[in-house]
Amino acid sequence: MADGSASVEELLQPFFRKIQLRDVLGAEEQRAIAAAADQRVDFAAGDDLVSEGDRPRRSMLVTTGFTCRYRMVNAGERQLTAVHLPGDFVDLHSFLLKEMDHSVGALTQCSIVTFPHERLVKVTERFPHLTRLLWLLTLLDGAIHREWLVGMGRLSAPQRTAHLVCETYRRLEAIGLASGNRFNFPITQAALADAVGISTVHINRVLQELRQLQLIVWDGGIMEIPSWPALAKAAEFDDRYLHLVQEPR
Amino acid sequence: MPRYFFDVQDGEGVFVDDIGLELSGMDAAIREARRALADMVRDVLRDESAREVLIRIRDGAEGPVVLSVTLTTELPEQG
């Protein structure tokens, strides 16, 4: 069981909400997941949760803060391939892929809960529907990767930046962690540049353009979207790929 | 390490850098400007009115412009 003041069920609320948006999670299934949780671990911004080449024996689920998947290339350039929010498993992949083909880093101060792989094996053997839901989570990761790939290939840097803001807000809003077109986003400009795949000099220009167009206000770690329709239109954002539809799986 | 500031000027206007980057020296600053130009050129070339992208490197927040790196597009005259 996780330690700390909050119960493991409380810590897992964003995860339960993420699933319940898309399907029904039974009480017994909730208990099974909570019982499979092990330790609670805190990380500081910039820490690695898991590194490329590792063979983790546990998977981690974010309970507070933001983390990212990334790879290093060209001797020092970082490319993010995903941003994780509370409720996201950062390395459910390692449960079956075994060796990490990328690293996971903390974008902000964050907390996670660990799930030993042997307990996940037991869960998947006892709960076929829950197993399909875990499978669904990795498919959602894949859907988000596809959307990023389309952006990298075809959208401009301001569009990709706007798209990431839309995506992050929509995902947070869906699990009840953001409302009113604003959210806490205390990541660095350099991290945002690494997510969008451009240099730090360029992201500065892109952010100023988005501010001048009154598409975003990003101040003191709070991201505000003055007009959701305007930002979504600029980014060509359509949330279909997030599959926010409740149906039996 | 010195802090360099990179102001960008393109078809959309002038974007003044008020954050800057800590870099080992002028060579690193020029490398950074070239990388940024390489990024920006992809978007700039789609904008048919854009002719030039310029990055001015300032040495310090209030410091003088020490170098400009410019990318110019030459378009054929429209008949």
Across chain A, the runs of DSSP E, i.e. the strands, are 40-43, 48-50, 58-64, 67-73, 77-84, 103-106, 110-116, 182-184, 217-219, 222-224
Q: Domain extents for chain A? A: 8-148, 156-242
Residue B21: inside a domain, yes or no? yes
| Residues A175 and A85 sit within 8 Å (Cβ to Cβ) | yes
In a domain, B11, yes or no: yes
- Confidence grade of residue B39 (pLDDT, cut at 50, 70, 90): confident
Tell me the residue length of chain B.
79
The residues near B66 (Cβ < 8 Å, ≥ 6 apart) are B26, B57, B58, B59
Residue B33 lies in a domain: yes
Mean pLDDT calculated for residue range B11-34: 90
Name the helix (H) or strand (E) containing B65.
strand B65-72
Q: ipTM of this predicted complex? A: 0.86
The shortest CB-CB distance from A201 to any of B6, B43, B46 is to B6
Note whether residue B78 is domain-resident: no
Q: Which residues of B touch A205 (CB under 8 A)?
A: 8, 10, 15, 40
pLDDT higher than threshold 70 for residue A160: yes
Query: Any idea what DSSP says for residue B47?
Result: S
Contact between A137 and A96 (Cβ < 8 Å): no
The CA distance from A34 to B14, in Å, is 53
Q: Which residue of A has its CA nearest to B35?
A: A199
Partner-chain contact A157 B36, CB within 8 Å: no
Question: Which among B12, B36, B46 has the least Cβ separation from residue A201?
Answer: B36
Of A156, A189, A202, Cβ closest to residue B36 = A202
List the single best residue of A78, A161, A201, A212 to mutate versus B (max B Cβ within 10 A).
A201
**How many other CB atoms sit within 10 Å of the CB of residue A186?**
14
Q: Do B43 and A158 touch (CB under 8 A)?
A: yes
Nearest residue to A101 via CA among A52, A51, A49, A48: A52
In a domain, B55, yes or no: yes
Q: What's the pTM value of the predicted model, to 2 decimals?
A: 0.93
The total number of structural domains that make up chain B: 1
Structurally, at CATH architecture level, domain A8-148 sits in Sandwich (2.60)
Which tens digit of pLDDT belongs to each residue from A16-38? Answer: 999 999 999 999 999 999 999 99
CATH class of the A156-242 domain in this structure: mainly alpha
- Two structure tokens written together for B67: 């170098």
Q: Where in the sequence is the domain holding B26, given as residue range(s)?
A: 3-70
Judged against a pLDDT cut of 60, whether residue A2 lies above it is answered with: no
pLDDT of residue B52: 85
Locate B10 and state its tokens: 């393109």
Chain segment A184-239, per-residue pLDDT in tens:
999 999 999 999 999 999 999 999 999 999 999 999 999 999 999 999 999 999 99
